[in-house]
Amino acid sequence: MAPSAEASLAHLLRTLNAARDGASNALGIIDFEHEKIHAGESFVCHFSNEVTNINEMTVIAFNTPDTTRWIHVVVEYTATALARALLVEAPSIDVDEGTELKIFNRDRNTVADPEKYSKVSTIETVPSEGSATSYDEGQAGGANISIAAANTISEHHIGGGSGPHGTGGGQLQRDEYILARNTQYAFILEALNNDTNIHNLHVSWYERVNRAA
C-alpha cells in the first residue's frame, strides 16, 4: 500500500529536521569536516621554533588512542629557509624529552566540557591525554627521534637556495591521513642548510568513532 500524503509529509519533515545543524539550527548540508567542528570533535595544535644549523629539527608528536576513535589528520608545514617536511609513523621517540603542547578544540564553546577533549596523548612515561608534545632542536636531539624510510609516510622539500639568499616556503599536506590506533606519530621539519630558519608546524585533525571497527 502506498503511504498516504500525510505520512509522506511527516517523513519529509523528519528528514529535514535531521539535516538541521546542531550549533545554529540552520537547515542545510555541510561537509563532514565542517560538521565535526560543530560537533566539538575538531582540534588543532601548533609549534614554532627557530633553528640555525643543518639537520636541526622542530617536531610535534603524539600517541593515538587505543580505541575505535580514529584520528583524521592534515598538516601544514612552513619554513623560512630550505627544509624537509616529514610525517613519520612509529618514530620510537625517547620519553620525557619534549614539552607538553596545548591542543585547541575549534569550537571554543566546548572548553569546559570534559567530553570534548582530544584523545591523543603526550610522549611521556605517563602519557597525558588531551595534549601533544613539542620538541625544539635540542629536545629533538635528546629524544633520539628515528626517521626510518619504511616509516616515513610523507616527505616534502620546502624552499630552495643557500647562503644569505636562501628562500623558504610552505607545504600544506592536503591529503587526509587516518592514523593507526595506539601508535606514535611525529610531524617534523628538518633544516637542510645552516641558514637561520623559522619552522612552523600546524597539525589539524578531527576524531571520529569508526563504526566498522
Query: What are the cell numbers at 135?
Result: 620538541
pLDDT of 210 reads: 80
The residue extents of the domains of the chain are: 1-30, 41-209
Q: Over the stretch 85-134, which tens digit does the pLDDT of each residue have?
A: 999 999 999 999 999 999 999 988 876 676 678 999 999 999 999 999 99
- In angstroms, the CA 81 to CA 14 distance is 55
Which residues of 97-180 form beta strands (DSSP E)? 99-102, 104-105, 131-135, 152-158, 169-178
pLDDT surpasses 90 at 162: no
Q: How far apart are CA 75 and CA 193, in angstroms?
A: 23
- Measured distance CA(170)–CA(100) in Å, rounded: 25
- pTM for the whole structure: 0.80
